[in-house]
Amino acid sequence: MAEVMTDLGMKEILSQFGIEEVNNGASTGGHWFNTRGEKIDSVSPVDGNVIASVKSATEVDYEAVVLKAGEAFKEWRKWTAPARGEVVRQLATKLREYKEPLGKLVSYEMGKSYQEGLGEVQEMIDICDFAVGLSRQLHGLTMHSERPGHRMYEQYHPRGIVGIISAFNFPVAVWNWNTALAWVCGDVCVWKPSEKAPLTALACQQITKEVFDANRVPEGVSGLVIGGADLGILMSNDARIPLVSATGSTRMGKAVSAAVGARLGTSLLELGGNNAIIITPTADLKIVLPGAVFGAVGTGGQRCTSTRRLIIHEDVYDTFVSAIVNAYPQLKVGNPLDENNHVGPLIDKDAVEMYLSALERAKAEGGNILVEGGVYEGEGYESGCYVKPAIVEAENTYDIVQHETFAPILYIMKYSGSVENAIAIQNNVPQGLSSAIMTNSLKESEAFLACTGSDCGIANVNIGTSGAEIGGAFGGEKETGGGRESGSDAWKVYMRRQTNTINYTDSLPLAQGIKFEL
C-alpha cells in the first residue's frame, strides 16, 4: 500500500479533502464507487515520492456514472438558470476557503510553482464569478417575420451531458472553465482528468460535493472517472454525450474529433500551441524581457500558451539576445513550493526524455545552443525531473521547431525588413493558439491584429503569450483545434440553439409567399 506523503504539510492537506492512501476513482458526486481498476500512483515530480494512489474506473464504473448523469440532467435542466448560478456562486466561495491548500496540492502533484498553483485556483474562482453573472444573461434573439401575425425568436437550451477530458498542466482550472459554464447552462458533466494528476481531481470533487449537498443538487450533475485513455475513448464514442471538451495534444485531439464527429456529436478542442513573440525595433526591453522569460519558463514550459519562439528584428537582435542570455542564469530551478524558485520540475521522466530528445534534434538540424540545457542532479533534485531552461538559435523551418515540445526550450530567430515578414514567420507553423508582438509602433500593432496579421486565436500587444484572463474566449486555430472556452460568448457551445416561430392569427400563410390550398 502506498504511503501518503507527510512532508510539506501535505498529509494535513490531503486529509482536508478526504484523500486517503488508496482512493476510488469514480464518483457521481454523491456516491463513490468501489472501483477495481488498475491502481494509479500519483508521483510528485517535486521529490519523486508517491503522494497517494487511486484505483482507476472500469467500463462498468463509467457506465454507472453516465447513467446517473443522464438521470440528473432531467431534473437539473428544470432548475432556473439563476438558481443554478447561485450554486456556482457558493462554489466560488468554497474555493476561496480552499485556495491555499488546493493551490499547494496542484503545485506538489503537478510541479508548477506555488504562486502558479494559487493562480490556477484563482482562475476557478474567476470563472465561477463570470458564470454567476452569465446565469441571468443566457440571451436569445428576436427577429421580424415576413409573415403577418407571426413572431420569431431564438432561444438556447441545455445540451445534456458534457464530457470533459483535461490535461495535467492545468489539472483543476480547465475542468472548472467547462463546468461553471455548463452548470449554469443546465448541463451535467462527467470529467476524465489526467491520470498524471488524479488527486487534484479528487479534491475538486470533494469541494463540489460540499456545495452540491448543501443545495440538494441532483446526484450525477458532477461525475468523475479517473483512468487512462480507454475512458477517453469510451467518452468520445458515447452517443449519450452530445459535447466532449478535450484539452491535450494535437494527436489526442484528432482522435477525439474523429470519434465524436463520426457520431455527429460536437467536440470542443484546446490542443497544442507553438507560440511566438515578435520583437520589433521599437520594443521596450523592460517589457520584453520579463514577458519572454516568464512565457518560456513558467510552469516549466508546460503551458499550451508557453512562448516557444522569439522572432527578433535584426536591428535589435544582438541587444536582446545578449539580455535574455544573461537573464537565464538568474533563474532559480527547484522545489516549486519554495517561493524563491522560478521554475519547478517537468511532470515526469518521460517529459524529461522528450526535452532531451528535442535539444538533440535541434542541434542535429543546425541549431546553435545559446543557453545549455540538461538535467539537474544532486540534493533537491532526486526526482530526476528538474531540467535547465535552454535557448537555441534556430530557423523556423527546422522540423523540431514546427512541433510543440512541452518543456522550457526557447527558439530564437531573426527577421529583417517589415513586420509583415515577422508575421509570416510566426504564422508558418501548424499550430495557432497564442501570439504576441512587442512594439511601440501603432502601425505595426495594427498590422499584427489585422485579418492579414496573426492567424492565432489569441493575439497580444506588449504582453506575452501566456496568462490569459477568463473574460475573453480562450482557444486557437489550425491544429490547436478551433475551440473556445471561458469568457465572452463561449457559453453557447454548451447549449443547443432553437428557432421558434409563433402564429397568432386565424390563417396559415406560408413562407416565401408559397400558396397551398385544399
**Residues acting as catalytic residues:** 270, 304
Rounded Cα distance, 155 and 139, in Å: 7
Evaluate whether 265 touches 275 at the Cβ level (below 8 Å). Answer: no
Q: Pairing between strand 243-247 and 434-438?
A: unpaired
Task: Let me know if 158 is exposed, middle or buried by CB neighbors in 10 A (0-12, 13-18, 19+).
Answer: buried
Q: Answer whether 185's CB lies under 8 Å from 494's CB.
A: yes
Would you give the distance in Å from CA 488 to the centre of its chain? 16
> SS3 sequence, 377-426?
CCCCCCCCCCECCEEEECCCCCCCCCCCCCCCEEEEEEECCCHHHHHHHH
Residues 246, 263: Cα–Cα separation, whole Å: 16
Of 280, 262, 291, the closest CA to residue 418 belongs to 280
Cell of 41: 500512483
All 3 cell numbers of residue 85? 448560478
How far apart (Å, rounded) are the C-alpha atoms in residues 37 and 55? 5
- Residue matched to cell numbers 438521470: 71
Is residue 69 within 8 A of residue 242, CB to CB? The reply is no
Pairing of strands 434-438, 458-461: parallel
Count how many Cα atoms sit within 13 Å of the Cα of residue 124 in the half-sphere of its side chain. Answer: 32
Residue pair 166/115 in contact (Cβ under 8 Å)? The answer is no
